[in-house]
Amino acid sequence: MELLNRIEMALTDALGPLGPLAAVGILGILLIAVTLPAMLKKRDEPFDRIKAQRTSTPAQAPATQALRRSSGSKKLDRFANLLEPKTAEELSASRLKLMRAGYRSKGAVRAFHAAQFAFGIGFLVIGVLYALIVSAAEPLSMQQMVSYTLLPGAIGYYLPIYWVKRREQERHDQIVAGFPDALDMMLVCVEAGQSLDQSILRVARESAAGYPALSEEFEIVSQEVKAGKERVAVLKDMAERVGIPDVASFVTTLIQSATFGTSIAEALRVYSSEMRDKRVMRAEEKANTLPTKLTLGTMMLTVPPLMLILIGPSVYGIATQLGGQ
- Helix intervals (H) in the chain: 2-15, 19-40, 46-55, 60-67, 74-77, 80-83, 88-100, 108-137, 142-191, 196-206, 212-226, 231-242, 245-260, 264-324
Instruction: Evaluate whether 174 touches 213 at the Cβ level (below 8 Å).
Output: yes
Instruction: Say what the pLDDT of residue 62 is.
Output: 45
Query: What gap in Å lies between CA 245 and CA 258, rounded to an integer?
Result: 20
Helix (H, G, I), strand (E, B) or coil at 98: helix
Distances in whole angstroms, Cα of residue 199 to Cα of each of 2, 166, 218: 72, 31, 10
Instruction: Say what the pLDDT of residue 164 is.
Output: 92
Which DSSP string corresponds to 261-307? T--HHHHHHHHHHHHHHHHHHHHHHHHHHHHHHHHHHHHHHHHHHHH
Instruction: Say what the pLDDT of residue 32 is.
Output: 67
Instruction: Evaluate whether 190 touches 226 at the Cβ level (below 8 Å).
Output: no
Instruction: Evaluate whether 279 touches 252 at the Cβ level (below 8 Å).
Output: no
The pTM is what?
Answer: 0.65
Instruction: Evaluate whether 222 touches 248 at the Cβ level (below 8 Å).
Output: no
For 188-212, how does the pLDDT look when each residue is reduced to its tens digit (9 = 90+)?
998 888 888 888 889 999 888 888 8
Per-residue pLDDT of the chain (325 residues; tens, 9 = 90+): 566 677 777 767 666 666 666 676 677 677 666 665 655 555 555 555 555 565 554 444 444 444 444 444 454 455 555 566 677 787 888 888 888 888 888 888 888 888 888 888 888 888 888 888 887 777 777 778 778 888 888 899 899 999 999 999 999 988 888 888 888 888 899 888 888 888 888 999 988 888 888 888 889 888 888 888 888 888 888 888 888 888 888 888 888 888 888 788 888 888 888 888 888 898 888 888 888 888 888 888 888 888 888 888 888 888 888 876 6
Instruction: Say what the pLDDT of residue 161 is.
Output: 92
Instruction: Say what the pLDDT of residue 81 is.
Output: 59
